[in-house]
Amino acid sequence: MTLSIRWKVALGTLFAVTLALTVAGWLALRSIERVELSRVAENLEARTSLAAFALEPLLAQPGAGRSTRQPEIQSMVRELSRHALARVTVIGPDGTVLADSDTPDDAVSRLENHGTRPEVIQALSAGYGTDIRLSATVGQRMYYLALPMKSGNQIRSVARLAIPLTTLESRIHDLTRAVSIAFGLAFAVSVALSVLLARGVTRPLSAMADVARQLAGGSLGRRIRTTSRDEVGVLGSTLNQMADQLESKIREVSEDRTQLLAMLASMIEGVMVLDCRGKVLQVNPALEQMLMVQGAEARGRAHWEVIRHHELSELVTRVLETRANCGGEMTAAASGRTLRVEASVAGGQRENEACAVLVFHDITAVRRLEKVRKDFVANVSHELRTPLTSIKGYVEALLDGAKDNPEQALRFLEIILKQTDRLNLILDDLLQLSQIESGQVLFKRDPISLSEVVDRTVALIKPLADKKGHTVTVAMPADLPPVLGDPERLSQVLTNLLDNAVKYTPANGSIHVAGQIAGDLPQRLVELSVTDTGLGIPEADRPRVFERFYRVDKARSRELGGTGLGLAIVKHIVEGHGGRVWVEGNQPTGSRFVVRLPAAASAKGGSG
Ligand code: ADP
């Protein structure tokens, strides 16, 4: 059990006070007893001397036989006892009791020999003897004093006076009681005083201990109230200063940490901080997404447990061993993202100190764009080379002599013209696509009636369709809401779709253009579809026909004058209007292209 400082001080003081009081009380009682006894001795000695003086003539008479003088002596002894208020005994030098005031006359001779009594022995040998003991005769504690009675140098007898110590003892007893009461009072006062004193001393210390505990527990706003200027006051104000410093340091550190975490959280790059043993100290939200890991689970674990990637492990091992910055590229298995990792050395040397910082850049989009660019360049070169090779071939043929054959020359020149037109067409489409993609073309956002766009575009395509014997039908509901958009661009979308329908439908087919409302308010959508009874598109190719230069049947497309860019342009324009385009199969044959656009919110109905 540990005692509090208050109890230690209180009990220590009490112990000291109790010890001092006990010793002082005991010494005082002993000293009083001694003084009283010496007074009793003095008094008794005087009385004994007087008794001896009175007895001496009786005992000194020559020839005084004991038996004859004994009654006289006995009576004198009784007389003296009455006056001296003490028991008076006369003892012969051989110890025989000659007279005793407290013994009946006839019993004196039967009294035992007193020669062995200490006071008698002392009186006979030293001329003065005292003793205190319990008297067998009277049954009380008695003070005995004996003096020898001499005639010449010869001791004739010993006069002994004895008084009971009852008075003295009762006085000592009273005194002891008084001292005990005083002791008790002093003890009670000292208990109260020591408790108060201990409280006075320890209360500020307890308050300090309490505040220190709260400071350690995180309540940094707590302070010690001190008014005194003693050591306790100095201790209190020092503790307050320490708490001030601690609070400001902790605030600084937590502000820094908050800023750092905010920076880490807002970074697009993934960040992982490792200690010198490769243990993960920090992971930011961007990296959590890139690697599909939970930051809370990752922290405190080894990096190879968090990211099971051989090359990354090698990179980290290299940076921790060589303490030199390095970098590399990896593909995250979980998310499939391509990541560029830059590992740099931080200052930490010990466990749980930042030793290496890995920054992960998501370069998936960059790599994909690179691939798209490469594919695009390859596609474009291929698309341009085909007509150019053809032109070159026919020009060479003309130069080799065909120019001299007017009929052949004309046919070759017509082919060259056709291929040149095709080149033009490809370049026009490419230019348009690149303008839309780069955002150079801004679409108008006017509420327009799709029915008008449909009518105008169908009228343009009609001659081509007629030429192949196709039937073109239009079904646009009168209550079709307007859409927010660019009429020219939407007309181009429809032109491309109708052009394809005419191209990829064998002669005498049917082409149907329809409009309808899709979705509910407030997200109302307008749907426009172009359905043909042509070749159709295999299901596997359907998602890909909107890619640049993707064709289901390359030869046929070229033969029909296609560039492979029409649907890519359609997709870009529709998406630029916040819409969506896709293709479905038509039953029993053909394709159905669907364009879905958001309806203009404020407008109520279309003109039809
Ligand atoms: P192209 O200039 O070759 O027509 P598009 O981008 O317009 O290029 O079309 C891409 C490919 O999609 C075409 O080559 C063709 O194979 C297929 N296609 C497009 N529209 C139709 C359709 N209505 N019926 C069948 N196939 C189509």
Transcribe 507-559 into DSSP letters.
SS-EEEEEEEEES-TTS-EEEEEEEE-SS---TTTGGGTTSTT--SSHHHHHH
Ligand 1 center–CA 391 separation, angstroms: 25
Which of 327, 361, 395 is where one domain is finished? Answer: 361
Contacts of 242 (CB under 8 A, 6+ apart): none
For residue range 206-218, what is the model confidence (pLDDT) as tens digits?
888 888 888 888 8
Asked whether 562 lines ligand 1 (CB < 6 A), one says: yes
Partners of 338 in beta bridges:
331
Residue 548 within a domain: yes
Nearest CA to ligand 1 atom 8: 564
Residue 399 within a domain: yes
Which of 341, 361, 381 is where one domain is finished? Answer: 361
Helix/strand/coil for 90: strand
Handedness of CA 526, 527, 530, 531 (dihedral sign): negative
Ligand 1 center–CA 545 separation, angstroms: 7
Contact 395, 413 (CB under 8 A): no
Asked whether 531 lines ligand 1 (CB < 6 A), one says: no
pTM of the complete model beyond 0.75: no
Residue 195 within a domain: no
Residue % of the chain over a pLDDT of 70 = 97
Helix/strand/coil for 589: coil
Q: What is the mean pLDDT of the chain?
A: 88
Ligand 1 center–CA 596 separation, angstroms: 19
Tell which atom from ligand 1 comes closest to the C-alpha of 568.
6
Query: CA nearest 519: which of 578, 453, 472?
Result: 578
Task: Please indicate, yes or no, whether residues 413 and 499 belong to a single structural domain of this protein.
Answer: no
Question: Is residue 64 over pLDDT 70?
Answer: no
Asked whether 270 lines ligand 1 (CB < 6 A), one says: no
Asked whether 553 lines ligand 1 (CB < 6 A), one says: yes
Residue numbers of the domain that contains 112: 5-170
Task: Please indicate, yes or no, whether residues 326 and 418 belong to a single structural domain of this protein.
Answer: no
Asked whether 357 lines ligand 1 (CB < 6 A), one says: no
The tokens describing 495, both together, are 């032109």
For residue range 266-279, what is the model confidence (pLDDT) as tens digits?
999 999 999 998 89
Number of neighbouring beta carbons within 10 Å of residue 366 = 12
Asked whether 534 lines ligand 1 (CB < 6 A), one says: yes
Helix/strand/coil for 50: helix
The tokens describing 173, both together, are 């007893």
Tell me the best of 427, 492, 500 to mutate to test the pocket of ligand 1, counting ligand atoms within 8 Å of each CB and taking the most: 500
Ligand 1 center–CA 499 separation, angstroms: 9
pLDDT of residue 68: 67
Residue 176 within a domain: no
Asked whether 517 lines ligand 1 (CB < 6 A), one says: no
Residue 215 within a domain: no
Nearest CA to ligand 1 atom 13: 551
Domain count, the chain: 5
For the chain, the 3-state helix, strand and coil shares in percent, each to the nearest 5, are 55, 20, 25
**Residue 604 pLDDT class (50, 70, 90 cuts):** very low
Phi and psi dihedrals of 259, rounded to 5? -60, -45
- Long-range (24+ apart) CB contacts under 8 A made by 551-559 are 556/504, 558/386
- Give CA 320 to chain center in angstroms: 29
Beginning with the edge strand found earlier in the chain, give each strand of the sheet holding 338-345 in spatial order: 280-283, 270-274, 356-362, 338-345, 326-331
Residue 408 within a domain: yes
Task: Please indicate, yes or no, whether residues 426 and 536 belong to a single structural domain of this protein.
Answer: no
Task: Work out the angle at residue 549's Cα, subtended by the Cα atoms of residues 547 and 551, and round it to the nearest 5 degrees.
Answer: 90
Task: Please indicate, yes or no, whether residues 338 and 242 belong to a single structural domain of this protein.
Answer: no
Task: Please indicate, yes or no, whether residues 344 and 384 belong to a single structural domain of this protein.
Answer: no
Which of 389, 409, 437 is where one domain is finished? Answer: 437
pLDDT of residue 63: 53
Contacts of 450 (CB under 8 A, 6+ apart): 476, 480, 482, 483, 490, 515, 526, 528, 597, 606
pLDDT of residue 14: 84
Query: Going by DSSP bridges, is the β-strand pair 483-485/446-448 parallel, antiparallel, or unpaired?
Result: antiparallel
Task: Please indicate, yes or no, whether residues 225 and 338 belong to a single structural domain of this protein.
Answer: no
Q: What value does the mean pLDDT take over residues 95-108?
A: 89
Residue 160 within a domain: yes
